[in-house]
Amino acid sequence: MRRVWLAAALAAFPCLSAVAQSRIDYSKLEIRTTDLGHGVYYLGWQGGDSLILVGDDGVLLVDTSVAQMGDKIKAAIARVSDKPIRLVINTHAHADHFGSNELMAKGGAIIIGHETLRERMAKGQYLAAFKQTIPPSPPAALPAITYLETMTIHFDGETVQLFHAPRAHTDNDTLVYFKRANVIHASGTFGGDRSYPFFDISSGGSLAGMIRAEEEMLSLSDDRTRIIADEGDQGSREGLKAACEMLVTIRARVQKLLDEGKSEDQIVAEKPTRDLDAQWVPQGSPLTGDFFTRLAYQSLKNDRGPARP
Ligand SMILES: [Zn+2]
């Protein structure tokens, strides 16, 4: 019952839910392009938003949304660069982050992602959290280049660092750090500074991994860093710090109740997020305090997340 309840709540949540995606009329979506400096632009619409880096070497694109958005992404890129899309990075294997890979690859782009992302795309996935079946991707859509822990790309005069965030939003998240532009794409590991984040336990995500990913981004960033949240605009280091502290607080509270032997329903009834919900639950959001408490419980119950190296 519990799992059914989670899936029902998530039907309204944008990141990846097939139901939510089917409700979106992509033909009406407009891409907002924001110049973040040093050749980095944010392409924003409604979930699975992209970043691009443009310069003499060509275009590097982070995330390709769903298939219906491919031509719009290309058109938005063409408005700021006449160079070809040469490199694509997929941040994680949720369906709204790699859907236009094949289109980009057929145009000559080389796709890069974590090794586990490639495995998940090649096999196909059933995401229990969303009751969503994602069929195997065609070979052309798969990353040609994969990595395990870190990778550095020197392109357009920029240093682009890729960091694997183990067992965070999923088991295949890549944090993408544009060093000169001072911009980080957080994959799905940061929900912004006004919402509880979501992590997908059915794809190997965990609360401990989310905290670790946010700590990693805090160590990379300074007060001027722009951090791209999962489904929203650019966040700040201050917002990330607040989000990370909130996660650490909730983890400690839920773990304490777990250690006292309480059940999931008993823990939810204790409302361990009561004083936090006003700040972290936007009106109408399915990511309520009770929902996030269940997510935290399910993550902490069997698994304390990725081992520290
Ligand atoms: Zn996601």
**Amino acid making up residue 109:** A
Angle, nearest 10°, between helix axes 289-302 and 207-220? 100
| CA 198 to ligand 1 centroid distance, Å | 8
The Å distance, Cα 35 to ligand 1 centre, comes to 24
The fraction of the chain above a pLDDT of 70, given in percent, is 89
DSSP state of 129: G
For helices 237-259 and 207-220, give the axis angle rounded to 10 degrees: 150
Tens digit of each residue's pLDDT (9 = 90 or more) over 284-295 = 888 999 999 999
pLDDT at 239: 95
The residue among 230, 210, 192 whose CA lies nearest residue 16 is 230
| Backbone conformation region of residue 261, classed left if phi is above 0, alpha if psi is from -120 to 50, else beta | left
Q: What are phi and psi of 304, to 5 degrees?
A: -95, 15
CA 259 – ligand 1 centroid, Å:
30
Q: What is the distance in A from the centroid of ligand 1 to the CA of 260?
A: 32
Give the Å distance between the CA of 279 and the centre of ligand 1.
22
> What average pLDDT does the chain have?
90
Q: Are 281 and 9 in contact (CB under 8 A)?
A: no
**How far, in Å, is the centroid of ligand 1 from the Cα of 15?**
5
209-to-55, 188, 213, 215 alpha-carbon distances in Å: 34, 11, 6, 10
Residue 43 CA, ligand 1 centroid: distance in Å: 17
> What is the distance in A from the centroid of ligand 1 to the CA of 190?
10
Between 30 and 160, name the one with better pLDDT.
160
Residue 29 pLDDT level (bands cut at 50, 70, 90): confident
CA of 262 to the centre of ligand 1 (A): 30
The residues, any chain, with a CB within 8 Å of residue 9's CB and separated by 6 or more, are 286, 288, 291
**Which tens digit of pLDDT belongs to each residue from 154-205?**
999 999 999 999 999 999 999 999 999 999 999 999 998 899 999 999 999 9
Interval between CA 170 and ligand 1 midpoint (Å): 7
Q: Tell how far the Cα of 225 is from the centroid of ligand 1, in angstroms.
A: 22
Q: How far does the centroid of ligand 1 lie from the alpha carbon of residue 82, in Å?
A: 30
Q: How far is the CA of 120 from the centre of ligand 1 (A)?
A: 14
Rounded to the nearest angstrom, the distance between the alpha carbon of 14 and the centre of ligand 1 is 9
Q: Tell me what the mean pLDDT of segment 12-19 comes to.
A: 49
217 three-class SS:
helix
pLDDT tens string 132-144: 899 999 999 999 9
Q: How many CB atoms lie within 10 A of CB 1?
A: 5
Distance from the alpha carbon of residue 169 to the mean position of ligand 1, in angstroms: 7
Distance of CA 279 to the CA centre of its chain: 21
Which residue in this structure is represented by tokens 């700021």? Answer: 80
DSSP secondary structure of 256-282: HHHHTT--HHHHHHT-TTTTTHHHH--
pLDDT at 276 over 90: yes
Residue 248 has pLDDT above 80, yes or no: yes
For residue 188, the CA-to-ligand 1 centroid distance in Å is 5
pLDDT in tens, 67-94: 999 999 999 999 999 999 999 999 999 9
Tokens coding 188: 């799905």
**Residue 92 C-alpha to ligand 1 middle, in angstroms?**
7
What is the Å distance from ligand 1's center to 62 Cα? 14
